[in-house]
Structures are given as C-alpha cells and as structure tokens.
Amino acid sequence: MRKLSVVVPCFNEQETIPIFYKELRIVLAKIANDYQLLFVDDGSEDNTLKIMQLLSKEDPKVNYLSFSRNFGKEAAMLAGMRHCGGDLVVVMDVDLQDPPALLPRMIEAIEKEGYDSVAARRVNRKGEPPIRSLFARMFYALISKLTDVEIMVGSREYRMMTRQVRDSILELNEYHRFSKGIFGWVGYKTKWLEYQNIERVAGGTKYSFWKLFKFALEGIIAFSTVPLKIASVFGIFFSVIAFFIIIVIIIERLWLSNPVAGWASIMCVIVLTSGLQMLFLGIIGEYLARTHMETKARPKYFIKEKKIDK
C-alpha cells in the first residue's frame, strides 16, 4: 500500500481534535500501515495548536501547520495539500461530519478499481436548519445552470485523490479558491460515495449564514461569467423595446398630433432601468474586485509554525 496523507483543516477545534484523532487512528490502523495525519491550524484562538503539538510529540505520524491568522478553510486545505507527502491524499473535516468509515472504500476504489479520486456527498441534510438547506439547494441548482463544471448536490470537500490529481489541483493558483468546483474542474476518473448526514460531534459550526452566502457567491463568480453576460442580454432587450417606443412616439407626434402624457410611466421606466444599471455595475464590480485581488497575487496564507517529517 502506498503512503496516505490525511489533511485536516481546523479552526477553533479543541473539543473535536482528540475525538477525531482517536476515531481516525482506529480506522487507519486497519487500512494503512504508512500514513501521515496533517492538521492545519487556521489561526485558531483556542488550544487547537497546543493539542496538535501534544499529539505530534506522542505520535510521530501526526504533523501540523499553523497559520499566522485565520485565512479560511480554502487556504487551510491548500496549505495542507501542498505540504503533505503521501502518494494518496485525503482532505476531511475534523468534526467527524466526513465519516472516517468511508476511508476503506475510498482506498479500495483507488487501489483496486482504478479510480483517480473518490468524493463523498451527503444525500440528506438532517439536523440542519431548514432555511440553510433551502438556500443550499438553490445554490446547487443555480451553479449547475451557470457553470459547466459538475458540482454534485450535497458534495463535500471530503475527497481522496492520487498524487497526480493533487498536483493538478495545486496548479490552479487562483486567490479566490472554490474547491468544490476546482476538484471537478481538473477532471480524472472520480467515484462518488453517498452517505447520510451526520451532525458535528462537538463544538459549533464555523460557518455563519453570511459566511456561507459569501462562499456561494465566490463559487458562482469563480466558475461562471454568465452573470456578466446577463447584462448584455438585458441591454439588448431594453434597447430593442426603446427603439420601437421611439418610433411610436414619433408617429403619434407627427401624424396623429397626439401629445404624449404620462409622467408616471416615464418615471417607472427611469427607475427600472437605472436600477438595472446599478445592479449590473455591481456585478461587474464583483468581477473587477476579484481581478484586482488576483493581480496583486498575494500569498494565500502565512505559516507561523510547522512540524512536518520528510
């Protein structure tokens, strides 16, 4: 068996890390004799880093990276994937919502069935606030219409891949990362495993509704230029209408001598069109802002401390 690296982003996870570690060791002992557990501390404010340090002292298979501040889960996954040494890499959450019980099937799919990557998706969202599930469903419906990458409903960032797939993913060097899209975009033969939603073992979610909303927007803008094109479609539509209205008004004025009344209707049109103009300027602004950030090409994170065995 090849060496397996398990990349685990953690942000304020002092309660969950020990539970995760215990559970994962049991599973890994059965399926892998050579593995590396790479925790990424995403600028936690609690004892997350201390726990990682302790674990890595006790167990040489445990490695860690620690960021200078909170850079977000995307940055943490990226850093972990860059620094891991395994021939197989798996990215998973620390809260056991990505069930370790799937790991044996993931390894089998790659080692025996010839897949390059194995992804997981939840088939339900039991235990989640209904409003969150509703918006999530809307997001998947929208993004699958707007982009050509396949983003499965309920897909997670829980994925095992060969080193080749990992290298391809790392070649995408964008600042605004949306891994759910990137994983699909690179291609390769992927197997999907389904499972029932599991609630967090301890602690609370790190994603507020607002943070999730921004994440969704990030995903759409990173993978689709359709919103930009909608502006052109609306522009053409309204120009054509305006053209006909002008003709009608000229005819009424010159031949029918019908002075046009209607302050109210003009106001409606002005308010509508200027509102739309603002909306589309806003959309263009969103893309421009991202281009601005990409051209700066800032580092996506800073590592303050690390322990990685070669």
User: Of 40, 223, 239, nearest to 142 (Cα)?
Assistant: 223
Nearer to ligand UDP, 205 or 225 (CB): 205
Nearer to Mg ion, 97 or 168 (CB): 97
Give the x/- contact pattern for ligand UDP in 120-159, rule: CB under 6 A.
Answer: ----------------------------------------
Which phi and psi (to 5°) does residue 10 adopt?
A: -135, 130
- Select from Mg ion, ligand UDP, none the partner in contact with residue 41, using the beta carbon and a kind-dependent cut-off of 5 to 8 Å: none
Specify whether the backbone of 188 is left (phi greater than 0), alpha (psi in -120 to 50) or beta.
left
Q: Are 5 and 36 in contact (CB under 8 A)?
A: yes
53 vs 48: CA distance, rounded Å: 9
What residues from 55 to 74 belong to the interface with ligand UDP (CB under 6 A)? 70, 72-73
DSSP state letters, 32-90:
-SSEEEEEEE-S-SSSHHHHHHHHHHH-TTEEEEEESS---HHHHHHHHHHH---SEEE
Q: How far is the CB of 49 from ligand UDP (least distance, A)?
A: 13
User: Of 163, 37, 191, 29, nearest to 89 (Cα)?
Assistant: 163
What residues from 191 to 230 belong to the interface with ligand UDP (CB under 6 A)? 200, 205-207
Residue from 5, 17, 35, 93 that binds ligand UDP (CB under 6 A)? 93
- Select from Mg ion, ligand UDP, none the partner in contact with residue 42, using the beta carbon and a kind-dependent cut-off of 5 to 8 Å: ligand UDP
256 vs 65: CA distance, rounded Å: 79
Segment contacting ligand UDP by CB under 6 A, of 9-17, 163-171, 258-266, 280-288: 9-17
Residues near ligand UDP, by CB under 6 A:
9-11, 13, 42, 70, 72-73, 76, 93-95, 97, 200, 205-207
